Amino acid sequence: MAADAAPRSLSGKVLDVLDAFSADAPELTLSDISRRTGLSLSTTHRIVRELSEWGALERQGRGPYRIGLRLFEVASLAPRGPQLREVALPYLEDLYEATHENVQLAVREGLELVFLERITGRDAVRVLTRVGGRFSLHATGVGLALLAFAPPEVQEQVLSGSLERWTERTITDQGQLRRMLADVRRTGVAISDRQVTMDALSVAAPVVGPDDCVVAALSLVVHADGASPHTLAPAVRTAARGISRALGSPTARRHPAGARRRASGP
């Protein structure tokens, strides 16, 4: 039986239990949760029972536990989650209908991004993303668009940290990344050419909210062979501006052809 690794508040232990679940492990037994959290089996059992009674966890019969719908209900109240997705979805669908390629919407969460939506074409290039999944900011199109307009301190933390390399074309040089981010701020478009997989190219643009700050980014991910980012950019920018107007960006409403972008929040 594992002992608690360190003194933790009850709320911290509850969060540890919820954090034990992941895309790779969506279903866990009580022993699995105890092992992943470092909590004793008795403590795990008590917390899991209370979470199950509230609806944060659920199980069928004596099967493994999984995340419950009650958490989905609570998460739907997040303004940067389903509410933003609901506003953006018609524009994402229009972009998909025009291209039949992968369309993605993401927000920045700390030093990473979180994907809120993805529409995938039948013959579209394979992508490594999933709705609700996290990814680094420095390599993807949406990540570069979000990072370019993030507060300076966030940019410095990302650039000075460990920059993971996925392919031989992944840019991990700080100077080169700074120049790329400056280009994104100047043009309003981020291009990631085979930085995550060698067969994919991403074109992204920032989405601006009611205070004219960047709140999200959307991208079109296509096969790298034969793709022209400059041909795709106008459609991506148009979709981003449409979402910005729908969110109430004053600048996007006054100047549909282009909106002023400022550093985003968290």
Q: List, in order, residues 6 or more apart from 197 with CB less than 8 Å away.
A: 125, 126, 127, 128, 166, 167
State pTM to two decimals: 0.74
For 170, other C-beta atoms within 10 Å of its C-beta total: 16
> What would the pLDDT profile of 103-130 be if each residue is shown by its tens digit?
999 999 999 999 999 998 778 888 877 8
Tell me the per-residue pLDDT of 50-66, one tens digit each, with 9 for 90 and over: 999 999 999 988 899 99
Q: CB–CB of 125/221 below 8 Å?
A: yes
Question: What stretch(es) of the chain map to CATH 1.10.10.10?
Answer: 10-75
By the 10 Å C-beta count (0-12 exposed, 13-18 middle, 19+ buried), 197 is classed as middle
CB atoms within 10 A of CB 213: 17
Name 43's Cβ contacts closer than 8 Å, sequence gap at least 6: 4, 13
Quick: pLDDT tens for 176-202.
999 999 999 999 999 999 999 999 999
Whether residue 2 is predicted with pLDDT greater than 70 in this model: the reply is no
Residues 223-243 have pLDDT tens digits of 988 778 889 999 999 999 999
Phi, psi torsion values for 235, nearest 5 degrees: -65, -40
Q: First CA to last CA across the chain, in angstroms? A: 39
Give ranges for CATH 3.30.450.40 in the chain. 82-254
CATH 1.10.10.10 matches 10-75: yes
Bridge-based pairing of strands 27-28 and 57-58 is unpaired
Residue 249 has pLDDT above 60, yes or no: yes
**Confidence at 260, pLDDT banded by 50, 70, 90:** very low
Is residue 103 within 8 A of residue 222, CB to CB? The reply is no
Average pLDDT of span 148-173: 94
CA distance linking residue 194 with residue 170, whole number of Å: 7
Q: How far is CA 3 from CA 14, 41, 44, 50, 117, in A?
A: 16, 8, 11, 20, 39
Predicted local distance difference test score (pLDDT) of residue 178:
96
CATH tag for 82-254 (out of 3.40.1190.20, 3.40.50.920, 3.40.50.1100, 3.30.450.40): 3.30.450.40
